[in-house]
Amino acid sequence: MEEMTFAAALADLAGMAPEIWQACQETGLMLGVGLAAAILLGGPLGIWLYLSQPGQLFANRLVNGVLGWTVNLVRSFPFIILMVSLVPLTRLLVGSTIGPVAAAVPLSFAAIPYFARLVEQTLREIPRGVVEAAEAMGASPLQIIIKVLLNEARSGLISSLTILTISFLSYSAVAGVVGGGGIGDLAIRYGYYRFQTDVMVAMVLLLVVIVQIIQLLGNRLAARLDKR
């Protein structure tokens, strides 16, 4: 490989702009689906995990045990193995195992228990007395969940979502390599397999910037919502 100047690298990258943009969209799609699944399914699961603990509204040792065990089980799988294990399910749901939508299936599968744990931990920080006060005022379980738990934990939940997003940006790169596309995949294909170090460096820098932005936005929003 010839020695590369900075200008040559820039020209090289500029020529790849459409591909880079497409990779960004693929990553965005994988993340979007994964995070939506995490919020819609992992969120309620986390709330249930919390409420089934001893001393809580729906205290039930068996339910809590089964939920906790299941969450741990899914979380024990190294992500790449989870992906491979889920190939039949992915094929069933999406009809293919290639592309960002297919990659979103195992990503969602991993994101759900991950976020459930984060939600559970966050809810634990709400003082028991606040929930008890709502019970004493005659609030229903649903009112307690929405008006008390989620509202009191909102800042922590945003922080949890920030952590999840950044972790899954990383996971999406793994998913990308096995046919999902995205920024990580681009970095591997060009930067590693074709020895185009400039592409590798550019993609890593791009990810660094994205992570910084996500964290910054997450911190800002969490701080704004926190009135404690």
The window from 10-18, 129-137, 181-189, 192-200 that contacts other proteins (CB under 8 A) reads: 129-137
Nearer to other proteins, 52 or 172 (CB): 52
CB count within 10 Å of CB 3 equals 5
228 binds other proteins (CB under 8 A): yes
The window from 73-81, 149-157, 180-188, 215-223 that contacts other proteins (CB under 8 A) reads: 149-157
164 binds other proteins (CB under 8 A): no
137 binds other proteins (CB under 8 A): yes
148 binds other proteins (CB under 8 A): yes
63 binds other proteins (CB under 8 A): no
* Chosen residue from 130, 216, 217, 223 binding other proteins by CB under 8 A: 130
217 binds other proteins (CB under 8 A): no
Which residue bears the tokens 């024990």? Answer: 76
* Site size with other proteins, rule: CB under 8 A: 23
Sequential DSSP letters for the chain: -----HHHHHHHHHHTHHHHHHHHHHHHHHHHHHHHHIIIIIHHHHHHHHHTSTTSTT--HHHHHHHHHHHHHHHHS-HHHHHHHTHHHHHHHHS-SSSHHHHHHHHHHHHHHHHHHHHHHHHHTS-HHHHHHHHHTT--HHHIIIIIIIHHTHHHHHHHHHHHHHHHHHHHHHHIIIII-SHHHHIIIIIIIT--HHHHHHHHHHHHHHHHHHHHHHHHHHHHH---
The window from 4-12, 53-61, 125-133, 203-211 that contacts other proteins (CB under 8 A) reads: 125-133
* Chosen residue from 72, 85, 96, 143 binding other proteins by CB under 8 A: 143
CB of 135 to other proteins, least distance (A): 7
CA–CA gap between residue 228 and residue 74 (Å, rounded): 34
Nearer to other proteins, 96 or 140 (CB): 140
CB of 66 to other proteins, least distance (A): 23
Binding site for other proteins (CB under 8 A): 127, 129-130, 132-140, 143, 147-148, 151-152, 154-155, 225-228
